Amino acid sequence: MRAVGQSVVRRDAAEKVTGRAVYVGDMKLPGMAYAKLLRSPYARARIVSIDTSRACAMAGVLCVLTSEDLKGIDPYFGPVLKDQPILAAGEVRFQGEPVAAVAAIDERTAAAALERIEVVYDPLPAVMTLDEALAPGAPLVHETPPRANGMFSDVKNLIARASNVVHEFHYQHGEPTEELFQSPELETFDDVTTYPMIHHVMMEPYGCVADWQGDQVTLHAATQHPHPVRRDIAQIFGLPLSRVRIVVPYIGGAFGGKSYAKVEPIAAALSRACKLPVRLCLTAEEAFQTGRKPSARVRVRTAVSPDGRIVARHIEVYYILGAYADVGPRVTQKAGYTALGPYRIPNARIDAYGVYTNTVPAIAYRGYGVPQTALAYELQMDRIARSLGVDPIELRMRNVLRRGDRYTPSDSDFDADLPGDLAELRHGMPERGSRGPWTGQGMAVTLKTTIAPSLSQAMVRVHADGSASLFTSTVEIGQGAKTALAQIVAETLDIDMAKVQVILADTALTPYDQATSSSRSTTLNGYACQAAARDVIRQLRDIAAGSWGVAPEAVKAEGGIVKAADRQMSYGEALDSLFGMTGAEVVGVGTYAGAMGNVPLSGITPFWEIGLVGATVEIDHDTGETSVHELVSVADVGKAINPALAEAQDEGAVMMGLGHALWEEMVYADGQLVNGNLVDYRVARMGDLPARLESIMVENEDGPGPYGAKGIGEGATCAVATAVAAAVNQAAGIEIRDLPLHPERVWRALRDHALTAQQEGK
């Protein structure tokens, strides 16, 4: 890693906070039952009948549930629309949808019981592709308009309707008229790209242990969103929030895939039915049937002046959301909003659509829809550069947003130094052409908003011995949030980091946090943690001031001691002086509440996450295989609270994006997902690691978080696949606009290019 700016917050915080990782799958509760799900073999079918009698009669089977057994509750859920049933009701809408659930004394018995459940299906016409879903007279994935959840203010006006287009987002500023795009004084570029379905491939699949005790339920869940999941469970079962407890242990990877409710409602329903704790942990293959990244088709039209200035841009993007909405409408809206790219564009129009299909539901994924649009607008920027004979970085220098600019007239000021970031990328990338004629370089610069409006709360307890406990609902998913937040509290209290204990997310103990997603934990939850620690310091200074008869402003807190002039006492002694006994504590509370605004998303983005990546590739002309030799990432992080963890996040994002560029794609044939497993689905492996992988941290301390921090971890993922695609196009002189760049696709593009050149030569 090469850092630009400042680095470590505390000298004693270089190492990650360690502890034994306990996952949901490790849990064993007394009398615990084990659950398995029966899944539909059809992409779309009417359920004629389900006979569970033979399964119920098996020894060791505790309960069997179908949708008919879910009476007296609200059996539908979904963070935006309540369109997803706990178990398929009347109709299945994608291959792999759960139809029945079994709880038994062990997993083997539960699996055997599934074989004894008889389901009669009546297959129905399915829409598997975007074109099929949008065709006139196409079968509707949902014939009855679903209900809104009401969880998000930015989609509160979403109109539920009987259509395969579940949501539309439209935005315009300036006058991006057709006359402008056809002006003879401007050059217009018009391109279409496609982005495939991609799975998260987290090492720990979905899991939950549900335990009903009387009229309340506790769920130990592998979720990024404990408080929203608590809300969903409370609504489904008609419980007050105080009767639902979500405990989140360590999570073995998530990348957005464990956002909001997934298996928790089924596990809770089973536990309620058999009156025992129930463990439901999916296999890797079942995870493929639970969620994936939205695939997309994007059209970009851009009008450019002779000197390379963007005059107008029109984006039309279709996100293919699968059988259920999940957060797809928000992806459509938020990613659609940023589809113009990190550029100053006086005349702009955005039309974004979220579309139902009979495929696995699309859910949140690292980058939240931005990689799909970035592929389109950045590959087009390269085409513009070639047409005008301008260096690709220079073209971007002429057009990128500057600090203080507005992405849209009513949003927050832009908070990054993009010209400086581009200069860092240019400096970090090697000279082109050092490896041979089939070597190429590509780059991409992308922009992403953060969830808004946003809310985080935190609590810090300082104990009698001067140590502290931090209560936060941020979830540790391997990104190091526990370490970074402990650093922030230790720095603010000015105590050794070893004295800070972080209490993991538990809705019965830890205060509200909106989400562990959108690169917000260190920045926005960190702000709340810092505010809570400062509240503790304020109280300690007030205690000392009252004890000594001085103004609070005269009291300083440092090194675990409060002091004024020649007087001093430890934090513990200050508490003793107030309460007249030992063992007392002081509790501080902190809140981050993001600003509302009149931007199209109903909230001003707290910070802009920037991703810049440069790639050097080499193509095997005979096979089409692409080798990536160098990847350079520039992360504009504001402040790297823990540089080692920041570097790990950024490099992980780069490697994840490399898989998207070259291999990853969920493939359907005749309504069946044919590669939904870890054998046939190819991800980036250690052997694919480029010979040179460099992460450059730009630290201008210009973020809203503690010490000027901004989010990190998604920017590089938004840019990598595009940078690799741009390098492949440059190396071979071709125009590939579809991912992944597997050998056959590249080989066919090379062949077609050669044939075209041969015909033109004649």
Count of CB atoms situated within 10 Å of the CB of 753: 15
**Model confidence pLDDT, tens digit, residues 313-365:** 999 999 999 999 999 999 999 999 999 999 999 999 999 999 999 999 999 99
Helices (H), 694-742: 715-732
Listed in order, the ranges of the chain carrying CATH 3.90.1170.50 are 32-124+206-281
Count of CB atoms situated within 10 Å of the CB of 452: 25
Helices (H), 99-255: 107-114, 130-134, 178-181, 226-237
Residue 153: is its pLDDT beyond 70? no
Strands (E), 133-215: 147-148, 165-173, 187-195, 207-213
- At the topology level of CATH, where does 454-593 sit? Aldehyde Oxidoreductase; domain 4 (3.30.365)
Q: What percent of the chain has pLDDT over 70?
A: 94
pLDDT attached to residue 493:
96
Q: What is the mean pLDDT of residues 223-248?
A: 96
d(C-alpha 738, C-alpha 725), whole Å: 9
d(C-alpha 664, C-alpha 685), whole Å: 12
32-124+206-281 maps to CATH 3.90.1170.50: yes
The full 3-state SS of 250-275, as one line of letters, equals CCCCCCCCCCCCCCHHHHHHHHHHHC
* DSSP secondary structure of 339-352: TT-SB--SEEEEEE
Residue 6: is its pLDDT beyond 60? no
Residue 483 near residue 16, CB atoms below 8 Å = yes
Q: What is the mean pLDDT of the chain?
A: 92
Q: Which of 316, 618, 630, 714 is catalytic?
A: 714
CA 285 to chain centre: 21
CA–CA distance from 426 to each of 142, 229, 536 (Å)? 49, 44, 45
**Model confidence pLDDT, tens digit, residues 12-50:** 443 344 456 678 988 899 999 999 999 999 999 999 999
- At the topology level of CATH, where does 295-451+599-756 sit? Aldehyde Oxidoreductase; domain 4 (3.30.365)
Listed in order, the ranges of the chain carrying CATH 3.30.365.10 are 295-451+599-756, 454-593
Residue 5: is its pLDDT beyond 50? no
CA–CA distance from 699 to each of 542, 579, 643, 670, 708 (Å)? 35, 44, 10, 50, 9
d(C-alpha 481, C-alpha 325), whole Å: 29
d(C-alpha 577, C-alpha 281), whole Å: 52
Q: What is the mean pLDDT of residues 100-112?
A: 97
Please enumerate in sequence order all residues whose Cβ is within 8 A of that of 213, keeping only pairs 6 or more positions apart, or say none: none
Q: What is the mean pLDDT of residues 104-118?
A: 97
Let me know if 714 is a catalytic residue: yes
DSSP state of 322: E
